[in-house]
Amino acid sequence: YDYSGYGASTGKPSESNTYADIEAVYQCLQTEYGVSQEDLILYGQSVGSGPTLHLASKLPRLRGVVLHSGILSGLRVLCHVKFTFCCDIYKNINKIKKVKCPVLVIH
Protein backbone atom coordinates (compact mmCIF):
# COMPACT_ATOMS: atom_id res chain seq x y z
CA TYR A 1 0.00 0.00 0.00
CA ASP A 2 1.05 3.62 -0.43
CA TYR A 3 0.76 6.27 2.27
CA SER A 4 -1.49 9.27 1.57
CA GLY A 5 0.16 11.54 -0.99
CA TYR A 6 2.84 8.99 -1.90
CA GLY A 7 3.06 6.71 -4.94
CA ALA A 8 -0.35 6.04 -6.48
CA SER A 9 -2.26 7.16 -3.37
CA THR A 10 -4.40 10.27 -3.24
CA GLY A 11 -4.54 12.60 -0.27
CA LYS A 12 -2.03 14.79 1.48
CA PRO A 13 1.18 13.45 2.98
CA SER A 14 1.23 14.11 6.72
CA GLU A 15 2.20 12.31 9.90
CA SER A 16 -1.41 11.88 11.01
CA ASN A 17 -2.47 10.60 7.58
CA THR A 18 0.26 7.96 7.57
CA TYR A 19 -0.92 6.78 10.98
CA ALA A 20 -4.50 6.57 9.68
CA ASP A 21 -3.26 4.69 6.60
CA ILE A 22 -1.41 1.98 8.51
CA GLU A 23 -4.32 1.59 10.93
CA ALA A 24 -6.69 1.16 7.96
CA VAL A 25 -4.41 -1.51 6.47
CA TYR A 26 -4.33 -3.32 9.81
CA GLN A 27 -8.15 -3.15 10.07
CA CYS A 28 -8.43 -4.59 6.56
CA LEU A 29 -6.03 -7.42 7.39
CA GLN A 30 -8.12 -8.25 10.47
CA THR A 31 -11.61 -7.98 9.03
CA GLU A 32 -11.15 -9.01 5.39
CA TYR A 33 -8.36 -11.58 5.73
CA GLY A 34 -8.65 -12.78 9.32
CA VAL A 35 -5.02 -11.99 10.17
CA SER A 36 -4.36 -11.76 13.90
CA GLN A 37 -1.62 -9.62 15.36
CA GLU A 38 0.15 -12.76 16.59
CA ASP A 39 0.72 -13.71 12.94
CA LEU A 40 1.78 -10.26 11.75
CA ILE A 41 5.27 -8.89 11.18
CA LEU A 42 5.35 -5.15 10.51
CA TYR A 43 8.00 -3.70 8.19
CA GLY A 44 8.95 -0.04 7.98
CA GLN A 45 11.70 1.55 5.92
CA SER A 46 13.04 5.07 6.47
CA VAL A 47 10.03 7.39 6.96
CA GLY A 48 7.85 4.26 6.98
CA SER A 49 9.40 3.40 10.33
CA GLY A 50 7.20 6.13 11.86
CA PRO A 51 3.82 4.61 11.02
CA THR A 52 5.19 1.13 11.67
CA LEU A 53 6.29 1.98 15.21
CA HIS A 54 3.07 3.90 15.79
CA LEU A 55 1.07 0.74 15.13
CA ALA A 56 3.55 -1.59 16.84
CA SER A 57 3.38 0.48 20.02
CA LYS A 58 -0.38 -0.19 20.14
CA LEU A 59 -0.30 -3.95 19.43
CA PRO A 60 1.26 -5.93 22.29
CA ARG A 61 1.04 -9.38 20.65
CA LEU A 62 2.70 -8.78 17.28
CA ARG A 63 4.94 -11.52 15.90
CA GLY A 64 7.68 -8.97 15.18
CA VAL A 65 8.81 -5.69 13.66
CA VAL A 66 11.49 -5.04 11.04
CA LEU A 67 12.93 -1.52 10.85
CA HIS A 68 15.03 -0.89 7.74
CA SER A 69 17.03 2.34 7.95
CA GLY A 70 14.58 3.65 10.53
CA ILE A 71 14.76 7.22 11.80
CA LEU A 72 14.98 8.37 15.42
CA SER A 73 12.60 11.26 14.69
CA GLY A 74 12.12 13.81 11.93
CA LEU A 75 14.14 16.62 13.48
CA ARG A 76 16.85 14.35 14.83
CA VAL A 77 17.56 13.35 11.24
CA LEU A 78 17.41 16.86 9.82
CA CYS A 79 19.11 18.83 12.62
CA HIS A 80 21.45 16.21 14.14
CA VAL A 81 20.27 16.96 17.69
CA LYS A 82 20.15 14.54 20.63
CA PHE A 83 16.79 15.55 22.13
CA THR A 84 13.16 15.49 21.02
CA PHE A 85 11.29 18.69 20.24
CA CYS A 86 7.57 18.89 21.04
CA CYS A 87 6.87 19.79 17.40
CA ASP A 88 8.92 16.86 16.07
CA ILE A 89 7.38 14.22 13.80
CA TYR A 90 7.71 10.44 13.95
CA LYS A 91 9.10 10.34 17.49
CA ASN A 92 10.33 6.76 16.99
CA ILE A 93 12.91 7.02 19.74
CA ASN A 94 10.05 7.44 22.24
CA LYS A 95 7.69 4.87 20.68
CA ILE A 96 10.20 2.02 20.43
CA LYS A 97 10.07 1.71 24.24
CA LYS A 98 6.40 0.68 23.99
CA VAL A 99 6.97 -2.15 21.50
CA LYS A 100 6.60 -5.54 23.21
CA CYS A 101 7.61 -7.90 20.37
CA PRO A 102 11.01 -8.78 18.87
CA VAL A 103 12.45 -6.01 16.68
CA LEU A 104 15.04 -6.44 13.91
CA VAL A 105 16.90 -3.27 12.99
CA ILE A 106 18.65 -3.18 9.62
CA HIS A 107 20.65 -0.08 8.79
Q: Which element (helix H / strand E) includes 20? A: helix 15-33
Q: What is the pTM of this model?
A: 0.93
Q: What is the model's pLDDT at position 1?
A: 86
Q: What are phi and psi of 52, to 5 degrees?
A: -60, -50
38-76: per-residue pLDDT in tens? 999 999 999 999 999 999 999 999 999 999 999 999 999
List pLDDT tens digits, range 66-104: 999 999 999 998 898 888 889 999 999 999 999 999 999
- Which amino acid belongs to residue 9? S
